[in-house]
A and B are shown apart, each in its own frame.
Chain A
């Protein structure tokens, strides 16, 4: 049973919705970031699957996009986690339900 493109896309859709689940239903700020990272990884999987199943002699566009996406996701994770630490220092909580004031 060799997997078709549809199977890869379904797996990446599953990964995306699991990431969405983590981002929407968790209360801890770090897990929302984990969910976002998983969604980005699912999108990368999509890009590479489409590149692989595309026409035969094409430039590695999907791979390039995925590579840059990984780099940007890492930068965003770093800044997001730094923000979580800064918020924790100020409010002493990481529960996003309690971060509901605009005033410091």
Chain B
């Protein structure tokens, strides 16, 4: 695992996430959201889970980000900027971050290096999905169908 690559990816991802959380311009924030997710996919590649990283790019950047920008377009009556920023939220977020970091640094058993692991091939993921995890797979399929139908019904124009 390359240290320099990790630092660069971490800086890019966190900067993009911060931009997505704080920029007043809606479109810029949505686009930095997409960049943050590409960064997270890069983390997954570093950790050896390439399939999940590619699925993340495909689903989030290819579909969810497009959904978000379409929704921003469709719900745009005010000037397109998000006025107002609640500083209480920043304090809570900082407190949560402080608490989590303190807990992580306190636990000595987590200060370990990565053991050598065989590359996780897609074949192993596929076998696991079809043998051990076949029920969750079917339930997720059902959930996605329900979400699809629900989202469609929610946005259908009401018949007058």
Contacts and interface: CB of A to CB of B under 8 A. Distances in A.
A interface, over-half SS: helix
A45 B154 CA distance: 32
A84 B151 CA distance: 11
B124 interface: yes
Interface residues of B, number: 85
Interface string B29-41: 1100100110010
A70 B112 contact: no
B93 A20 contact: yes
Nearest to B20: A34
Nearest to A52: B47
Interface residues of A, number: 75
Interface centre among B60, B110, B140 (most CB of A within 10 A): B110
Contacts of A64: 125, 128-129, 132-133, 136
B114 A82 contact: no
B116 A56 contact: yes
Contacts of A37: 33, 60, 64
Interface string B105-137: 100001111111110100011001100110010
Contact of B21 (A8, A35, A66): A35
Contacts of A19: 17, 21
A84 B128 contact: no
B122 to A, nearest CB: 11
Given A24-B88, A37-B64, A82-B155, A6 B111 contact: yes
